[in-house]
Structure 1
Amino acid sequence: MQRPILAFAQDSVGDWFATLSCGHTQHTRHQPPFQSRPWVATEEGRQSKLGELLECPYCERWELPEHFVAFHQTPEFTEATIPAALLKDHTTKPGIWAKILVTEGTLRYHLDGSGQTFELCVGTLGIVVPEAPHHVEPLGPVRFSVEFYQAPKVVR
């Protein structure tokens, strides 16, 4: 899954990494002949890459960034109270992840961009990747809520 580059920083050994819109980071080393990224060596080069897309393997595996924190949880929904918007294709905003938490019954989770579906029940989380089209479908009586995650706010 490709994600825009938002910023660059250096790790503890001085290697550059990109921060992606999903919240994940990825090293952007210049190590010829394996990786040719001479642009990473200059501020101008790095600035020229802001907004460009970079493949994010963590999003492909639905891995919520470890440092993200919960900031909102919906009320509990049932098969009768699911908002219509959740039953049709929708996405979260850039950088916003979610967990679908089923407390009773079974909910089918459709990842529309990939054509995959999962049956979620008690103890099985549905991970929502930012900006990935998805919707849910109750399979009989069900109770669930959605918990939203984002990068921690920086206090200055």
Structure 2
Amino acid sequence: MASGIPVHFRHTRSTPFWTKETVPHALLTHHNTKKGVYGRLSVMQGAVKYLGFANEHDTTPEIDVVIEAGHFGISPPQYWHHIELLTEDTYFNIDFFADPDEALEGKGIGQVVNTRHG
């Protein structure tokens, strides 16, 4: 996971708070944030496991981090990863920060996240 978001990036989107019942399936499967976009996952309750991969086709994570309540993790642009919700009461959201020079396309979470196709 990245150590920080560049100062000049701007906050572009906040997701709702999600639980095990409401988390979008795309986040639980192999995906990445788009070019010029950082994701900051904030855990309010429970815990989330973040698994990061060297590329789209890797199945063995190079990063395996547990983010507990009161903490956050940052995912860099175009880095393949997925998450797992570790407790029944997990409650979290994601804030996205974009390079002001990057044109973002799409709507909703598709504007900032790419999922694997095939």
Is TM > 0.5 for Structure 1 vs Structure 2? yes
Alpha-carbon displacement from aligned partner over 1:29-63 (angstroms, at most 9, x marks no partner): xxxxxxxxxxxxxxxxxxxxxxxxxxxxxxx8533
1:138 corresponds to:
85
Runs of 4+ in structure 1 deviating by more than 6 angstroms, as ranges, are none
Coordinate RMSD, CA, aligned? 1.6
- 1:121 to 2:68 alignment: yes
1:149 corresponds to:
97
Deviation at 1:123, TM superposition (A): 2.6
2:25 corresponds to:
84
2:51 corresponds to:
110
Matches within 5 A, 1:37-76: 61-76=2-17
SS at match of 1:78: coil
Structure whose residues are more often helix by fraction: 1
TM-score, with length taken from structure 1: 0.56
Identical aligned pairs, as a percentage? 31
Distance in 1 separating the partners of 2:70 and 2:45: 10
TM-score, with length taken from structure 2: 0.73
Quick one: which amino acid aligns to residue 130 of structure 1?
Answer: P
Matches within 5 A, 1:17-56: none
Greater RCO between the two (CA within 8 Å, min separation 6)?
A: 2
Deviation at 1:95, TM superposition (A): 0.3
SS at match of 2:86: strand
Structure with the greater alpha carbon radius of gyration: 1
Distance in 1 separating the partners of 2:41 and 2:2: 16
Distance in 2 separating the partners of 1:61 and 1:111: 11
